[in-house]
Amino acid sequence: MVDTATGSYANPAGAYTRDSNYITTRITADGHDGYPVEPGRYRLVVSRACPWANRAIIVRRLLGLEEALSLGVCGPTHDKRSWTFDLDPGGVDPVLGIERIQDAYFARFPGYDRGITVPAIVDVPTGQVVTNDYAQITLDLSTEWRAYHRPGAPDLYPEPLRAEIDAVNEVVYADVNNGVYRCGFAGTQQAYEEAYHRLFDRLDWLSARLAGQRYLVGDTITEADVRLFTTLVRFDAVYHGHFKCNRQKLTEMPVLWAYARDLFQTPGFGDTVDFDHIKRHYYQVHRDINPTGVVPVGPDLAGWLTPHGRETLGGRPFGDGTPPPPPRPDETVPAEHTPLGRVPR
């Protein structure tokens, strides 16, 4: 049976299987799917807890699409029905006027029975979901929304590198992004061990790749770095213990730890990360794994702000572009949910 809020289930062999039947309608410059790019028309709905949604938050920030595409933020926890807007006054999204993102799904597809997931883009005039195809959403923000990118926006999906970016993304998704879930939700020892070894074999491969180059593909930040980052930034806080991905912590993998800190300290990355929401989501929602719902106090976050030394490898984070400005006040992560707000005792 599919968990409608996550779109996942365990197959008969005990292996975790992610429901990949997403709403593939696209918002494009020419509107060929019936949804043309129009500033102010759509709302990107996310949760800061979710790694797949975190990708969209980062890309929107880097490209400077805040004015063109508004942001609705769900709370860090959900039930089997749907993510909710419990962070907003009265528990209602101020633009869409709904309490649950499922309302936007049902507005377009009554009785929708697949994963009601974030990120999702909603057509504000109709209140209907357009897409929850998280992989395509970020690519389209880079390619179809160009007319509304900020001056100096980086090219996160440069055409000459797309084949290599796609190839890296494919193995990182299978073995790392989804691999941690395959460990955490494995229903048998064999399924867990297979996922575990596959995950750490790929992390070793990534360490070797990144030992001599600052970014995954080319000498600038691309879509591939965004996709890997959102898993790495959650690794020690959640995946190492909660999902039993415990061969090593991220902080014990020198290359990946330095790479992750480099990105975290880059405007548009770390300033989107809410460690409080991340931990509350995984430890309070996954009661089959953590029945008590107790949320760990650690780990210490101060290390995220320490020097990483990756600049010695060269590279130009934004290519010929510039860093994004600071987050808007209404989209700023509370300081107490970040390393900046944590003072060692």
- The answer to whether residue 325 scores a pLDDT higher than 80 is yes
State which amino acid sits at residue 229. F
Provide mean pLDDT across the span 11-28.
87
Q: pLDDT grade, residue 345 (50/70/90)?
A: very low
The Cα-based distances of 48 to 75, 142, 187, 219 in angstroms read 8, 20, 27, 28
Contact assessment for residue 129 and residue 107, using Cβ atoms and an 8 Å cutoff: yes
- The answer to whether residue 154 scores a pLDDT higher than 80 is yes
Q: What whole-number percentage of the chain has pLDDT above 70? A: 95
- The answer to whether residue 9 scores a pLDDT higher than 60 is no
pLDDT digits (tens, 9 = 90+) for 94-104: 999 999 999 99
Q: pLDDT grade, residue 7 (50/70/90)?
A: low
The pLDDT of residue 264 is 98
Q: Which residues are catalytic?
A: 50, 181
- The answer to whether residue 11 scores a pLDDT higher than 70 is no
Quick one: which H or E segment has residue 72? strand 70-74
Q: Which of 97, 25, 213 is nearest to 85 (CA)?
A: 97
Paired strand residues for 46: 73
Provide mean pLDDT across the span 57-77.
98
- The answer to whether residue 128 scores a pLDDT higher than 80 is yes
Contacts with 307 (C-beta within 8 Å, 6 or more apart), sequence order: none
| Distant-in-sequence contacts of 293-298, Cβ < 8 A, 24+ apart | 296/241
The pLDDT of residue 289 is 96
Q: pLDDT grade, residue 18 (50/70/90)?
A: confident
In whole angstroms, what separates CA 53 from the centre of its chain? 4
Q: pLDDT grade, residue 55 (50/70/90)?
A: very high
CA atoms lying within 13 Å on the CB side of residue 35: 22
Q: For 177-206, b where at least 16 C-beta lie within 10 A, e where not — what string?
A: bbbbbbbbbbeeeebbebbbebbbebbeeb
Give CA angle at 84 (231, 226), nearest 5°. 20
Q: What whole-number percentage of the chain has pLDDT above 90? A: 91
- The answer to whether residue 290 scores a pLDDT higher than 90 is yes
Quote the tokens at residue 318: 């934004």
Mean pLDDT of the chain: 95
The pLDDT of residue 14 is 85
pLDDT digits (tens, 9 = 90+) for 156-194: 999 999 999 999 999 999 999 999 999 999 999 999 999
Quote the tokens at residue 322: 């510039």
Provide mean pLDDT across the span 69-93.
95
Higher pLDDT, 298 or 340: 298
- The answer to whether residue 331 scores a pLDDT higher than 50 is yes
pLDDT digits (tens, 9 = 90+) for 235-271: 999 999 999 999 999 999 999 999 999 999 999 999 9
> Phi, psi at residue 17, to the nearest 5°?
-130, 125
Q: pLDDT grade, residue 344 (50/70/90)?
A: very low
Q: pLDDT grade, residue 343 (50/70/90)?
A: very low
The order of strands in the sheet holding 128-131 is 70-74, 42-47, 120-123, 128-131
Locate all alpha helices (DSSP H) within 126-178, ordered by sequence.
134-143, 162-172
pLDDT digits (tens, 9 = 90+) for 189-198: 999 999 999 9
